[in-house]
Chains A and B, each alone.
Chain A
Amino acid sequence: MLRDVLRILGLWRGHAGWLAAGVLVAVLSALAGLALLVLAARVIAGAVAAGHADAALLAGLGVAALVWLRPVMLFRPLARYVERLVTHEATFRALAGMRVWFFRRLAERLPTGLGLRRAGDLLGRLVSDVEALDGLYLRVIVPGAAALAVVLAMALLVGAAEPGLAAILALPLAAALALPVLLAPAAARAGEGVARAQGALRSAVVEPLTGIEDTLAANAEGRAAARVAAEGAALAAAQQRLARRGAWGGAAGALLTQAALLGALAWALAAAEHAVASALLAVFLAVAAAESLGLMPRAGASLAAAAAGARRLFEAADTPAPVPEPAEPAAPPTGHALRLDGVTFAWAPDRPPVFEGLDLEVPAGARVALLGPSGAGKSTLAALLLKFAAPQAGTITLGGVDLARIPSAELRRRVAWLTQDARLFDDSIAANLRLAAPEATEADLWRALDRARIGDLVRALPEGLETPCGEAGSRFSGGQARRLALARTLLSPAPVLILDEPAAGLDADTERAFLETLDEATQGRTVILILHRLLGVERPTRILRLIGGRAIPATG
């Protein structure tokens, strides 16, 4: 647990200034709160004691306290306000950095997407877990520092005159301070339970909504709702467990501060008359400290929740990258000829191999049609060429350079892949296209759209290139979305294009027209066309059929 927390603190290094300032203001504000009550109490005590044996001393203190009361009274609210602002500002700055860090890490470690990880769960990881981490600073570090300052101040003030009394006062309060750390491991388990339950609930909500058509078609609404209700109940139970721990921690903290207060009173009852002044100070300090310290044990629950969030964040972010970046990258390749030698590959050790000793050569500028039944490994080949996976045996070279030695960013500048499930983002058409070429002019965009045979349709839209696509291109029909994705790939300046079923979802006439003009649309580039059949208009320079893990020359 400690390791994860320390790692989070390491990630926050860039915001150390804001974070430290927040702690400092919090300490000042807490001490001002302490001073305020003690001063008011001394004024009254002085008045009450007037005329008594030791009155001279106590009344003098009362008058001195009255002088200090006014500035402290004004300072305390101001300090409190500034404390809140600065600590929250610091938290949000640190959290924003964390979101970005996490996304970058996932892009690096899970580039092929979610796979068996549930998307809803991942969403929860970023949003909830990152937010749970604000508890680490706001509810653990800041109040902890303030309470520590309060306890130290009390020990010093009282300890100077009466060390024994200082011990009676400070020991229970120190225990209240230590309580969160002691309670954290148990609360961590409860916090983990809450985070897990919330992830499960989100998955239960996201999955049926993602496949909404299939959910409704199966009349599975009731089952989906029952699952959401069950996961909701599980979440509530987990929250109950966490809250109960927090409540008991709160009760323990309250009792410890009460112990300090009553202990000081007992000491005063038993002690001789001369120590009354110190005893009174101790009692008032104990009353004032209750506010700073009373809530400390609840920090245990926050610490636990933050630690659970941190652990889940790091668990996802530390998934090993599927293909490591080369330690010593080779000089960028000059040519674009692709060559596979004896490539053997399986997605997992317990899955049958997709390729066994695959040899394949694609000269620069060639137009290769790759055929084969579904599941024969056409898309797997593309994944290997883009280093989304690495072969278990054999080599793949681009321009004579081993892919393993080419940095993946460098490789992906040279090879563009239109995947079967290429996705449009919930953004404008222009923004979606510019993913492939951020600098592209509007004229470039229109040219790519025309080549993908969708320019006319986009022109007819009232908002044109600025038309939003909707999630996964939901504003368009399947065929239209496919053509937009195709336009995006054509816009890419990469010299090698891998087009996986570029015409899927197009009607027969459009498909034929597109394939006929493919030559012109991809002039001068290497094209690997992955198809399940040839229409006879593609004019490939080579036709290969993937069967049994090998590529066999074919004739249409």
Chain B
Amino acid sequence: MASPAPGADAGAAALLKREARAERARLIPPVLIGIGIAACGIAQAWLLARLLATLLGRGDAGWAELAGAAALALLMAGLGVAQERAQIAAAEHAKARLRAAAFARLLAAGPADERAVGEKSTLVVERIEALEGYFARWLPAAMLAVLAPLLVAGAAALADGPSGLILLAAGLAVPVAQAVSGIGAAQASRRQFEALQRLSGRFLDRMRGLPVLVLFNQQQAEAARLGAAAEELRARTMRVLRIAFLSAGAMELIIATALASLAYRHGALVQGAHPAPVAALFVLLLVPVFFAPLRAFAGAYHEAMAARGAAAELAPLLDAPEESGLLLEEIPPKVTVTFQDVTLSYDPSRQPALGGVSFRVLPGETLVLTGASGAGKTSVLRILMGFRRPDSGRVAINGHDITRLRPSELRRLSSYVSQRAHIFPGTIRENIRLARPEADDAAVEAAARAAQVSEFAALLPQGLDTPVGEGGYGLSGGQAQRVAVARAFLRDSPLVLLDEPTAHLDPGTEAVVLDALRRLCVGRTAILASHARAARVGHGRVLELSHGRAGASRMAGN
């Protein structure tokens, strides 16, 4: 495991600080309620001390004091419930805001962010949830850990000066112990989160490919590897906790020392009758009241570390600039696409995907890109979809540079059919409607007919309303592809981008789909990437790509 980047801590701290400032107003109620609870605790301790002194023959308290103590107990219980609510409310707001931001950035990064989906989903779900403790418990607890003990120590000092000083010293020792043990905890905490993230990424990846593992009888071996990963997670987590628990031990030591010091002061050092019996019992009973907020603070300290670990991962994502660029005023009815010396490289150590490609496609024209796999056909389409930005050269639509447009705006111009369409969980109808959510049923059905979806949907028990699962369960590859073509029909855009749309269809279906695609392309600007001979026939101009460069173009069928 590489040691974390030096900027990660700073990024995490900056993120948390910014968010804490944004939530300041919501953090005040839980803190005020916490102070109220401490005040009630002090009052109750005084009443109990008087009662105890009476029992020891040194006072005159009675049932009235007992009733008072009971009333205070009820009040504290009520305040505790109110505090919990106020804390949750503070965290809820912060989480919702951060979750929306993280998810939007992941969508904006699109396919260019090659992390596993499981890893990305961990960022949006687990990492954001890990921040809850920071807002709900750590921030209020940190403020209360300063204010409430001061209040209690002050009350103790009023009753007996030296006792107040003992409590104050114990209170000051707590943050020192926390800091000493906490320095290593921050790094360890981040490492634990990395392990958790890799584990969940790996699990999702393996679950999706479970049939492959089963086919090769590797499910047991993979289970063992998952076990090793879980074991690694355990080792990492324990490393965090070994340090985090040191502070818990230190806390107990401080409490024990404070109790013992008070016992020595009031028990051993006093000769004869104690001059202030109520005060002696009062400061003793204040010890639990004094340490309750510090205990909550110590418990929340681990959550703060966890939040910092999560924030370190989230910071680079959230600090990424928001998607920028111009917006489209309207969708032009006709578009001309121009590529001029366009280069694109995914990985500097490999050959560039595009090494200076130029062409122009006019409205109503279809350009067929051909070439061996890896020749750069898909890269051309990715640029036009805004998934990638060209390294150099100029890509223009109707003479305007597309890199000045916001990528999502660029995509409003086009419909896209990829090599392997993704079918979302839901019905077939919902899957088609994805392309244009406001479309009515008649339009969806027309698109389904045009793409030959109706043909196979008619044989399904619920027709277009048949549910299809993750990865298109229940649909063959060809059927899924036809759903994608139906989406393109429904979208009705001036630019059509087709990436091997018939690669997985049998000749009968392929011919039908190509015919449908041909009708789709009429009157629009279309770019079709395909190496299937059938796809090229009668489609239009052919441009052959080879190692990211364009060869001569010719008419289809020649």
Contacts and interface: CB of A to CB of B under 8 A. Distances in A.
B434 interface: yes
Contacts of B442: none
B263 A66 contact: yes
B221 to A, nearest CB: 7
A525 to B, nearest CB: 16
B317 to A, nearest CB: 13
Interface centre among B51, B215, B411, B459 (most CB of A within 10 A): B215
Contacts of B212: 419, 422-423, 425, 435
B464 to A, nearest CB: 16
B230 A53 contact: no
Contacts of B280: 44, 47-48
A373 B230 contact: no
Interface centre among A220, A280, A416 (most CB of B within 10 A): A220
B24 interface: no
A51 B223 CA distance: 73
A416 B216 contact: yes
A507 B256 contact: no
Contacts of B435: 218
A472 B208 contact: yes
Interface in B224-263: 224, 226-227, 230-231, 233-234, 237-238, 241-242, 245-246, 248-253, 256-257, 259-260, 262-263
Q: Which interface class (under 10, 10 to 19, 20 to 34, 35 or more) fits B? A: 35 or more
Contacts of B210: 106-107, 110-114
Contacts of A113: 207-211, 471
Q: Closest 10 CB pairs between A and B?
A: A211-B422, A479-B373, A532-B506, A43-B267, A374-B478, A81-B249, A107-B219, A507-B531, A77-B252, A247-B84
Nearest to A206: B121
Given A202-B125, A374-B476, 15 more contacts: A65-B263, A81-B245, A81-B249, A96-B234, A100-B223, A128-B126, A215-B107, A236-B96, A250-B80, A254-B76, A375-B476, A379-B476, A478-B503, A506-B531, A533-B507
Given A44-B280, A255-B74, A291-B288, A510 B373 contact: yes
Given A505-B500, A532-B506, A47 B270 contact: yes
A39 B55 CA distance: 18
B212 to A, nearest CB: 5
A476 to B, nearest CB: 8
Interface string B375-415: 00010000001110000000000000000000110011011
Interface string B454-474: 001001110000010111011
Given A80-B252, A269-B51, A290-B288, A229 B88 contact: no
A217 B469 contact: no
A213 B260 contact: no
A51 B422 CA distance: 88
Nearest to B250: A77
Given A40-B262, A77-B252, A232-B99, A103 B203 contact: yes
B320 interface: no
A480 B84 CA distance: 55
A436 B213 CA distance: 9
Nearest to A507: B531
B288 A287 contact: yes
Nearest to A258: B73
Given A50-B272, A96-B230, A251-B80, A127 B103 contact: no
Nearest to B425: A118
Nearest to A374: B478
B172 interface: no
A239 interface: yes
B422 A374 contact: no
Interface string B532-555: 110000000000000000000000
Contacts of B224: 100
A554 interface: no
A48 B274 contact: yes
A276 interface: yes
A243 to B, nearest CB: 5
8 contacts: A103-B203, A106-B207, A114-B470, A123-B200, A205-B121, A236-B92, A478-B419, A501-B504
A373 B455 CA distance: 13
A85 B281 contact: no
A474 B208 CA distance: 14
Contacts of B419: 478, 505
Contacts of A462: 349-350
B6 interface: no
A255 B277 CA distance: 27
Contacts of A122: 204, 207
Nearest to A475: B114
Contact of B55 (A108, A126, A229, A268): A268
A372 B508 CA distance: 9
B106 interface: yes
Interface in A17-69: 36-37, 39-41, 43-54, 58, 62, 65-66, 69
Contact of A123 (B118, B238, B257): B118
Contact of B110 (A93, A207, A216, A283): A216
A198 B434 CA distance: 24
B411 A219 contact: yes
B437 interface: yes
Nearest to A424: B209
Interface centre among A73, A89, A471 (most CB of B within 10 A): A471
B537 to A, nearest CB: 13
Contact of A45 (B52, B245, B257): B52
A39 B362 CA distance: 92
Interface string A337-354: 000000000010011100
Contacts of B284: 40-41, 44
B100 A228 contact: yes
B220 interface: yes
A116 to B, nearest CB: 4
B169 interface: no
A92 B268 CA distance: 46
Contact of B103 (A120, A214, A228, A421): A228
Interface in A220-274: 220-221, 223-225, 228-229, 232-233, 236, 239-240, 243-244, 246-248, 250-252, 254-255, 258, 261-262, 265-266, 268-269
B351 to A, nearest CB: 8
A279 interface: yes
Contacts of A248: 81
